[in-house]
Structure 1
């Protein structure tokens, strides 16, 4: 078993050029000199590379080394733009909004083990990517909340057919082929049905609220209940929709595994304590970051100015 830092004193590992030139060639040289970057990432949980001055058009050789099995963003809920081969913009929510902590695709039956972030354009102010140790996040919650979540969660999604609230099923699954979508959902034993208007309703089978890390065995908070719950919707229009529409008709919603509602105060505690326990990673142009998606949750702080951060993921 790999020994990792305790969650109370954890922070990301930052690596700058040392003995190699500050360039994409220098970073590639450094990475090829590492016996096992996966072991480093498991131990450190988040690794940030600064000062290597990697241009966006030269990311491929770096990603080839850091993401051995690059995945598409299938079943994704957040608005993104695909800009390359399984490379996407980070979530395109308004800059004044905070994106709460989450583990990517933890509501799905398939999630990436590793995330890659690249800063193409640094914001004028703010815009950090906060990261939170999943053990610390779990420990920060009241026992009552942890116990209530122990039985797991059910997520519901309503994906429209091209016109409506949230994402379309074509965007979420990157296909126009219904059979491809059905095969993916059947693989995760989800309940789904095509709606009369051409949309798709998905109700997952039970998903866990916590997960044991496959290498370290550490139990971590691992779900996206606060992002699916109406109580934590971040803007007035969304909150108004939640008041006039039943949860099962919203673009996304969540309940406990037995179908009972999750109290608002539980969801808000999960959201707020995750953000409070997080460590901010501030961006400079050309920075790169790799995240263990099981061990660590991530989010986004509000910002001003232009901010362009690219994201990729691997199994």
Structure 2
């Protein structure tokens, strides 16, 4: 067992550990293309920036893990030591990047770290009802995404429609760096700036009507992408019980596929600051998230629903110009964060959006993710 997972007393205390605020994060070595980028939803539409913005002075806010002893403390102790830093800075800045933690590419160590965090934050659940693909690699730890690496996952709030609650914090660890110049950067977007810059007529219409989210799952027997048995429950009865608890409606089709739908607000009050912020997946849950963008759906049979879709809460389709505007505002406030082995990016799910730039098929890249509800 690695030393940082052992529970015996190493003589190190929380007081021996600290997190020193570091300098502004350097931008990626290669500019991160947005406008016209292949496999990026909406990249052919007008208004998108040519490149992602570089990291800003305090977005993300960078900290270096430090210790005053030669002994290697268990990773759980680092989690205890980190809590005051998160309490002070995460909601204020929206995203915090921690360097120097001893987790590297070990998801088991990350799991131990998160267990200690959950003891502090009283987390109850983990990612339920995801529309995209990912794999469990340790308890409460998953791969960030198993989707085609070339595909860019647009900035979004973690907002699983079929989940009972919305996460408050996301923890992402870099397990393997992509090759130089091959892409794969983390992306984060400033929710406060997005809310301020959203066209008032768009904001007010969604405030009034809410958004209708639809999720389509085929059965496992015929699925080529995702299925309801592995994302909701193994039987129809269990799936219906879960969806009832989650507040969803649904329709079973003759081929045993299911269409789930639910109306949800487009804004939410930040649980700590009380700010009312743009908080949804209206653009990143729309069918255009896959249509003409995702490599696996380039030849999609249009008679079959895409995995996700959004409409206005009254059932009307969202206008193309509205989707374009939302994406324009989101990308205008998005920065690219280079991946470095062992880096821990922590995102306030209300104050910031997160995503992944596409990367080359021949490049390694691995990230692990976990979440907290408090």
Q: TM over 0.5: same fold?
A: yes
Alignment gaps of 5+ in structure 1: 1-7
CA contact (8 A) 1:157 1:201 kept: yes
In structure 2, what is the equivalent of residue 183 of structure 1? 241
Q: How far is the alpha carbon of 1:176 from its aligned partner? A: 0.9
- Change beyond 3 A, Cα 1:144–1:238: farther
Q: How far is the alpha carbon of 1:262 from its aligned partner? A: 0.1
In structure 1, what is the equivalent of residue 35 of structure 2? none
- Structure 2 CA distance for aligned equivalents of residues 92 and 19 of structure 1: 35
- Structure 1 CA distance for aligned equivalents of residues 284 and 152 of structure 2: 11
In structure 2, what is the equivalent of residue 231 of structure 1? 288
CA contact (8 A) 1:140 1:273 kept: yes
Alignment gaps of 5+ in structure 2: 1-55
Matched, 1:39 2:95: no
CA contact (8 A) 1:79 1:93 kept: yes
In structure 1, what is the equivalent of residue 145 of structure 2? 91
- Secondary structure of 2:332's counterpart equals helix
Q: How far is the alpha carbon of 1:51 from its aligned partner? A: 2.2
In structure 2, what is the equivalent of residue 64 of structure 1? 115
Match of 2:226 among 135, 158, 167: 167
- Structure 2 CA distance for aligned equivalents of residues 147 and 181 of structure 1: 34
- Structure 1 CA distance for aligned equivalents of residues 71 and 335 of structure 2: 27
Scaled by the length of structure 1, the TM-score of the pair is 0.86
In structure 2, what is the equivalent of residue 50 of structure 1? 99
Q: How far is the alpha carbon of 1:34 from its aligned partner? A: 5.2
- Structure 2 CA distance for aligned equivalents of residues 236 and 123 of structure 1: 20
- Secondary structure of 1:182's counterpart equals helix
In structure 2, what is the equivalent of residue 103 of structure 1? 157
> Which has the higher mean CA deviation after the structures are superposed, 186-195 or 206-215?
186-195
Cα-to-partner distance string for 1:86-143 (whole Å, 9 max, x where unaligned): 2111122222221111111253442211111111101113211111121111222222
In structure 1, what is the equivalent of residue 355 of structure 2? 299
- Structure 1 CA distance for aligned equivalents of residues 124 and 70 of structure 2: 25
- Secondary structure of 1:79's counterpart equals coil
CA contact (8 A) 1:71 1:112 kept: no
- Structure 1 CA distance for aligned equivalents of residues 72 and 79 of structure 2: 11
The 5 A counterparts of 1:77-226 are 77-108=131-162, 109-124=164-179, 125-150=182-207, 151-162=209-220, 163-164=222-223, 166-173=225-232, 175-204=233-262, 206-226=263-283
Relative contact order, higher structure (CA 8 A, sep 6+): 1
- Secondary structure of 1:78's counterpart equals coil
CA contact (8 A) 1:159 1:201 kept: yes
List structure 1 runs of 4+ shifted beyond 6 angstroms.
Answer: 21-24
Scaled by the length of structure 2, the TM-score of the pair is 0.73
The 5 A counterparts of 1:235-250 are 235=294, 238=297, 241=300, 244-245=302-303, 249-250=305-306
Q: How far is the alpha carbon of 1:301 from its aligned partner? A: 1.2
- Secondary structure of 1:16's counterpart equals strand
In structure 2, what is the equivalent of residue 4 of structure 1? none
Matched, 1:313 2:371: yes
Cα RMSD after superposing both structures = 2.6
In structure 1, what is the equivalent of residue 44 of structure 2? none
How many pairs are equivalent? 303
- Change beyond 3 A, Cα 1:106–1:170: closer
Q: How far is the alpha carbon of 1:84 from its aligned partner? A: 1.4
CA contact (8 A) 1:232 1:267 kept: no
> Max radius of gyration: which structure?
2
Q: How far is the alpha carbon of 1:52 from its aligned partner? A: 2.5
Cα-to-partner distance string for 1:144-195 (whole Å, 9 max, x where unaligned): 322232221111122111113542001212x313333212211233211322
- Structure 2 CA distance for aligned equivalents of residues 195 and 91 of structure 1: 28
